[in-house]
Amino acid sequence: MQQRICLFPGTFDPVTLGHTDIINRALPLFDKIVVGIGMNSSKAPMFPEAQRLQWFREIYINEPKVDVKSYDGLTVDFCKTIGANFILRGIRFVSDFEYEKTIADANRMLDRNIETVFLTGEPQYSSVASTIVRDILKHHGDASPFLPQAVINTLKNK
């Protein structure tokens, strides 16, 4: 039987509790989840790629079903590279769904063998977005209620 490999793509700049909530709830659904840190040339990340990779490795050190890699280019092409037949996306609001559905439809047109799976975030994480967290951090606010301990530890050490 073919393994159910899933790609969870994003910039994860930084990793938030919203991201880990989606991963944790997807674990029973898949044999392997690859967190794919997409390199988007139109975005200037606050945190370097190596740091974002390290956060996921630290958070999921005891979870063999989770791997993390960075990639550039089309998400469906990266899916082929890692053998993923599923793309995982988190949905917080209806507006997220409309945006994500457009991307899922485009991906399906590019490769009919890759299915997008949507999970809704837990209500307590619906306001958690990397953009908001970056804004809090830029203004020297306390973003810790939105962040996993691995990220908090890094920020304390800077």
Tokens at 5, concatenated = 């490999």
For residue 144, say whether it is annotated as part of any ligand binding site: no
User: Shortest CA distance to 104 belongs to which of 3, 2, 7?
Assistant: 7
Cite the active site residues: 19, 43, 92, 130
Query: Which tokens hold the place of 155?
Result: 């920020």
Q: Is 136 annotated as a binding residue?
A: no
**Residue linked to tokens 């063998």:** 113
Asked whether residue 37 is marked as a ligand-binding residue, the answer is no
Binding residue per annotation — 140? Answer: no
Mutual angle of helices 49-59 and 149-156, in 10-degree steps? 130
| Residue 66: strand pairing partners | 33
State yes or no: 154 annotated in a binding site.
no
Residue 11, annotated as binding a ligand: yes
Q: Tell whether 139 is in a known binding site.
A: no
Q: Is 4 annotated as a binding residue?
A: no
Which long-range CB contacts under 8 A does 149-153 form with residues at least 24 apart?
A: 150/15, 150/55, 150/58, 150/59, 151/14, 151/15, 151/16, 151/55
Annotated binding site for ATP: 11-12, 19, 90-92, 100, 125-131
Annotated binding site for substrate: 11, 43, 75, 89
Annotated binding site: 11-12, 19, 43, 75, 89-92, 100, 125-131
